Structure 1
Amino acid sequence: MDTTASRVTRHYACLGNLLDEDRTAEMSTCDLVLTSQGKEFKVHKNVLMMFSDYFRNMFTIEMKEKYEKVIEIKEMPYQRLGNLIEFIYSGSITLTKENMFDVLQDALYAQIKSLESTCFEFISENISADNCLKAIIFARQCNNNKILNEAYEAIFNNMNKLQNNEGFLELDIKDLTTIVTWKKQHVAEDSFKAIVQWVNHNQSQRKNLFGSLFCQLQLTSVTHDALTRISEESLVKENLQCSNKLVKAFAQLKYPQCQHKFLLMGGYDSETDCVAFDVITKTSKYLPKLNFPRCAATTVKVGSRVYIVGGADNQGEGHPYQSCELLDLNDLENGWKPMSNMLEPRKWCRSGTCREKIYVTGGYDHQCLSSCEEFDIQNSKWMSISNMRQARYVHATVVLNDMVYCIGGVNNTTFHFSSCECYDVRSGKWNVIAPRNEARSGLASVVLDGKIYAIGGRDDGKRISTVETYIPEANKWLFVESLHLARSCPSACVLAGKIFVIGGWHGSSRLNSVEIFDPTTEDWSFSFKTKKPVYAATVAAI
């Protein structure tokens, strides 16, 4: 049905076309010529005034241009002036990532509100690492908080890429402070590097700002390796306020006073469960479930992210996984996210983290594996590293002083063994270390106060309760106080300077008891019981 509204719309379109055609007609009624760089454009003053506040002001107040027949627009190259005139007459313009800021600049110059809005919408959808610094300039000029916040987000997410960019180095202190602390749990080392680059760009005027910027950083999620690198920066060393903050961060990392929870993931009869336990209140809370059922997997925590790697379904009897997933504890709403697959499927493998990388050792895939892999967190990429000297699975892996230690386990020919070896992440080589006093597989292991603890396990078909500690300086294993209950394949972690050992297999049943080791008294004690028995689960202190 041909409505009045549609007829009016067609009429307006026809009028616009006629006016546009009149600009090139032989007997044109145009009453003004705009020029730029020697190019001329015939236009109608009334049309310009209808769309542009700039031209309306020019032709309605006493300016000399009001009476001129030819006006030069020096601020705009002729191609852009032609595009602007085309928009005024037709309502259309081609916007691209390459020209969007130029078109916005021209719209602001000509004071064309409709085109400004179109540009802002397009820019908002296309902000990236390549243009976010430029976006800040226009957002501030136009007082557009939406574009400004989106630019901040893009800069924050691309800090490593942009920190040497001239535009980044010329940011003012207000913008920089907002960017480096953009998220509550920001990537503090990346933010730190950006601050150092910014201060060093003009150190004579900015050095006094470093302390206040540094104190904005949240160092609670930074690894020991990262803190060490930060401590080596001269700007930190020369600032007492920064040095004190760093000392507190190291202390918090060693004995986190607020860290009183552990996260149990997967395991027998709980393959997709992810449960947080509070050891003070002795309560539990279910977090988002894993995407895949996992038994005999391995876990590390880096910053606010928990990574779970490998494992198998069907109570650990299924085919091993290559897949891995991660949970950001600051973004629980989005649950577990898939990450890059390992190079090989593995179950009963073990892992540790060092220098912003994850190391996964051994495991089982139709046979016992000696192969190992390294995951570069920054680049989300897996790489092979040197094979262990001894293939092993159901072993233990911990990291201490840039060394990845592999302890005990089972191989293809020996049921249980006591051999141990360590991988130097700097040289890329494996070296044999002293064997344990007692052969064991299915053990748990943690690092506490510079010592490695090998806890429980299985030897010659029986579960064992003994515990040994390794002193790297002496290359020696010593027995310490035994567990109250023998356990194989328990889970273990360190909270507030104490060792927590959870569940395991007692010989005829799975356990739900939790034992705690206090190194000051060298005694084990029972803490609490989990609602369900725990076996072949993986754990992370959170």
Structure 2
Amino acid sequence: MTLLAQQVCRKMGLGKSSVLATTLDEDQLNEWQKEYGQFDTVIVAGGARLPCHRKVLMEHSSYFRSMFGGFRERSLSCVEIKDIRNCKIMCQIMKFMYSKDLVLNPRTVQDLLCASTYLQIEALSHTCVQYISSRMDKTTAVSIFLYTSNLGPWDLHLAAKDYILQHFDEISKTRPFLELSSEQLLSIISSQKLLVSSEYSVFKAIMNWISGDPSERSTDLNRMLEFVYFHLMTSDEIDQCLNVPMIKKNPVFSGPIQEAKQYSMKNKDEKLSHWSQTPRPARWPKIFIVMRMYWKNLPMEYYDFRKKCWKQLAEVENWRSCISTVGYKSSIYLLGGEEVDTNSPTGSRTVNRVTRYDCESGEWTAGPSMLLARRWSASIALGERIYCIGGIGGKGGTFEQRLSSMECLDMTERSRWKSLPSMSTPRSSHTCEVMDGLIYVVGGGDGADWLSSAEVYDPEKNEWREIANLLTKRWKCGLVHHGGYLYAIGGMDSPKAGIWGAPLNTVERYCPKRNEWLAVASMLEPRFGCAVVSHQGKIYVSGGFGVNKSILNTVECYEPEKDKWSKVDSMKKMSGFVGGILIDKPVNFEQ
């Protein structure tokens, strides 16, 4: 123990024989005493006596606020914390409360988390949770989930559960997975956040868990199977389920699977009829549709996430350049755009036309025309509404301007578009995305310059407000919501509006709680005018223009947890400017 610490203890009537060495040095104690005055309390933990100030302890800890506020310890100069037996841990906690000084490592973080939870030091507990969460992997997630289910902290428990939900296929093959209780496993497989490669992988995980203790766990099988959507399996996968001995012997288990087998043999119309009367499960598979929206018409393509391949979707009827695309359920909407008009001085005309492609029926139909003609606008679906924002246009014809206006179409009525409050800034070639019920708009251009500004619309309040600017001006960037953040991807910056500059490979992430953008890993390839979607824990970026105006068909995938990009199979056609949509996989598509 330092000389100063010994002097403090003697002044408080504490004997020298009971004083043990600590990791608090003389300089630290002098600094604390200089800032807060004479020490007024000694905390005893793990046999060590630590001089401190009640003011500091009470400021950071609810435990100490209660102790020194109304219990008998308020009159004591020395207080022992019996449940913290490691003096080095208590010293680290002291340093954190005084100066936020903290060095975490895998050997001590659990002890620090337990102690900070016990002492109710929220800031320290949160720091420890972040440290553990950032280092969680498939071998530790279940153990952390089980440990925190009783002892907490609850935010770490939820972080572990989220990790399991996002990596279920891998984690279900590990030994700790077998230690889950039936209720814990049920809470996981019934979650709408569960990410799996197929329903068959959920079935295999359940059977693997039951194999851990067949005599006890087989009674839970019927409850478990309620959360396996056999209708989404292929015919071969259904057969494999039916051939499992435990399923084959019991008609209670095999009944729902036999129903799925009969469904798999129905024709397209019968399947559509089935789902018109039955709610679709939360884990209904998605497809990533990409459509060319500039220069010339090309057939739409889609990426099948389960089969990991690109396929042609359909030819585009009444194609227009510079459109905005939006997905709603199993349909694609093409909003506005520019079409050839020989009577126009410019040879083209901006239109307010809306067309719809139904991926289930494979048919094109006309939708209600927008209030204004728009090209290079941005559009998004939120709830039962489609929103179209900004762009270049007006009442049609050749008299045009950058627009700040917004309009929406109620999909429950589909009768006419309704005008809504305008953005603070007119913009075109911008991007929008939905996060937590709000519509975010970033970048683009106002006719005089490319923009880094961003704003958000609250449908409930029916108003816009500005948010933090992007780190970089971005024209035709991708914007996607993932894991509570927005990601602005690629785009183009240029020293002057109207002049093509160099495409960007940089990516930045927006945190709504902090209202700030931070740079993350850059793409492998610079691109702008690309299609971007988020699906099952990953972000996919497709097409666009690259260096020297090269037309791209390449595709990249970003894993936020690893902050890493990787290549994915390329599209069939070179696409340039594209619109990307994530929609429900049509019923008639092969599962």
Instruction: Provide TM-score, normalisation by structure 2.
Output: 0.47
| Inter-partner Cα distance in structure 2 for 1:326 and 1:271 | 16
2:386 alignment partner, one of 341, 355, 358: 358
User: What secondary structure does 1:183 align onto?
Assistant: helix
Q: 2:274 matched to 1:184?
A: yes
Q: Which residue number corresponds to residue 426 of structure 1?
A: 460
Cα deviation for residue 363 of structure 1 reads 0.7
| Inter-partner Cα distance in structure 2 for 1:501 and 1:491 | 6
Q: Contact 2:309–2:569 at 8 Å: present in 1 too? A: no
| Inter-partner Cα distance in structure 2 for 1:505 and 1:520 | 27
Q: 2:542 matched to 1:519?
A: no
| Inter-partner Cα distance in structure 2 for 1:403 and 1:424 | 5
Q: Which residue number corresponds to residue 354 of structure 2?
A: 324
User: What secondary structure does 1:371 align onto?
Assistant: strand
Q: Contact 1:404–1:423 at 8 Å: present in 2 too? A: yes
Q: Which residue number corresponds to residue 271 of structure 1?
A: 297
In the alignment, structure 1 segments of 5+ residues that lack a partner are: 1-180, 187-215, 221-248
| Inter-partner Cα distance in structure 2 for 1:509 and 1:378 | 42
Q: Contact 1:274–1:289 at 8 Å: present in 2 too? A: yes
| Inter-partner Cα distance in structure 2 for 1:269 and 1:496 | 32
User: What secondary structure does 2:465 align onto?
Assistant: strand
Cα deviation for residue 280 of structure 1 reads 4.7
Q: Which residue number corresponds to residue 219 of structure 1?
A: 280
Q: Contact 1:481–1:524 at 8 Å: present in 2 too? A: yes
Q: Which residue number corresponds to residue 497 of structure 1?
A: 537
User: What secondary structure does 2:569 align onto?
Assistant: strand
Q: Which residue number corresponds to residue 425 of structure 2?
A: 390
Q: Which residue number corresponds to residue 334 of structure 2?
A: 308
| 1:251-262 equivalence runs, <5 A | 252=283, 258-259=285-286, 261-262=287-288
Q: Which residue number corresponds to residue 404 of structure 1?
A: 439
Amino acid of the residue matched to residue 419 of structure 2?
Answer: S
Q: Contact 2:544–2:552 at 8 Å: present in 1 too? A: yes
User: What secondary structure does 2:404 align onto?
Assistant: coil
Report the CA distance shift for 1:295/1:280 in structure 2 as closer, same or farther (over 3 A): farther
Q: Which residue number corresponds to residue 314 of structure 2?
A: 288
CA deviation vs aligned residue, 1:190-226 (integer Å, no higher than 9, x gap) = xxxxxxxxxxxxxxxxxxxxxxxxxx73234xxxxxx
Amino acid of the residue matched to residue 394 of structure 1?
Answer: S
Q: Contact 2:443–2:475 at 8 Å: present in 1 too? A: yes
Cα deviation for residue 282 of structure 1 reads 4.5
| Inter-partner Cα distance in structure 1 for 2:437 and 2:410 | 15
In the alignment, structure 2 segments of 5+ residues that lack a partner are: 1-270, 341-345, 394-399, 495-500, 584-591
Report the CA distance shift for 1:217/1:496 in structure 2 as closer, same or farther (over 3 A): same
CA deviation vs aligned residue, 1:363-396 (integer Å, no higher than 9, x gap) = 1123211111111111112111011100001111
| Inter-partner Cα distance in structure 1 for 2:540 and 2:445 | 24
1:467 alignment partner, one of 507, 511, 529: 507
Amino acid of the residue matched to residue 354 of structure 1?
Answer: L
| Inter-partner Cα distance in structure 2 for 1:339 and 1:498 | 33
Q: Which residue number corresponds to residue 218 of structure 2?
A: none
Q: 2:369 matched to 1:341?
A: yes
Q: Which residue number corresponds to residue 374 of structure 1?
A: 408
Q: Contact 2:292–2:579 at 8 Å: present in 1 too? A: yes
Q: Contact 2:442–2:454 at 8 Å: present in 1 too? A: yes
Q: How many residues align?
A: 295
Q: Contact 1:288–1:336 at 8 Å: present in 2 too? A: no
Amino acid of the residue matched to residue 385 of structure 1?
Answer: L
Q: Contact 2:457–2:464 at 8 Å: present in 1 too? A: yes
Measured on the aligned residues, the alpha-carbon RMSD in Å equals 2.3
| Inter-partner Cα distance in structure 2 for 1:528 and 1:263 | 14
Q: Contact 1:266–1:294 at 8 Å: present in 2 too? A: no
Q: Contact 1:272–1:293 at 8 Å: present in 2 too? A: no
Amino acid of the residue matched to residue 523 of structure 1?
Answer: K
| Inter-partner Cα distance in structure 2 for 1:317 and 1:359 | 29
Report the CA distance shift for 1:526/1:182 in structure 2 as closer, same or farther (over 3 A): closer
Amino acid of the residue matched to residue 502 of structure 1?
Answer: S
Q: Contact 1:268–1:536 at 8 Å: present in 2 too? A: yes
Amino acid of the residue matched to residue 408 of structure 1?
Answer: G
Amino acid of the residue matched to residue 577 of structure 2?
Answer: A
User: What secondary structure does 2:440 align onto?
Assistant: strand
| 1:100-111 equivalence runs, <5 A | none
Report the CA distance shift for 1:185/1:338 in structure 2 as closer, same or farther (over 3 A): farther
Q: Which runs of 4+ in 1 moved over 4 A?
A: none
Report the CA distance shift for 1:272/1:319 in structure 2 as closer, same or farther (over 3 A): farther
| Inter-partner Cα distance in structure 1 for 2:507 and 2:515 | 17
Amino acid of the residue matched to residue 459 of structure 1?
Answer: D
1:476 alignment partner, one of 512, 516, 524: 516
Report the CA distance shift for 1:530/1:317 in structure 2 as closer, same or farther (over 3 A): farther
Cα deviation for residue 307 of structure 1 reads 1.8
Cα deviation for residue 317 of structure 1 reads 8.8
Cα deviation for residue 497 of structure 1 reads 2.1
% identical aligned pairs: 30
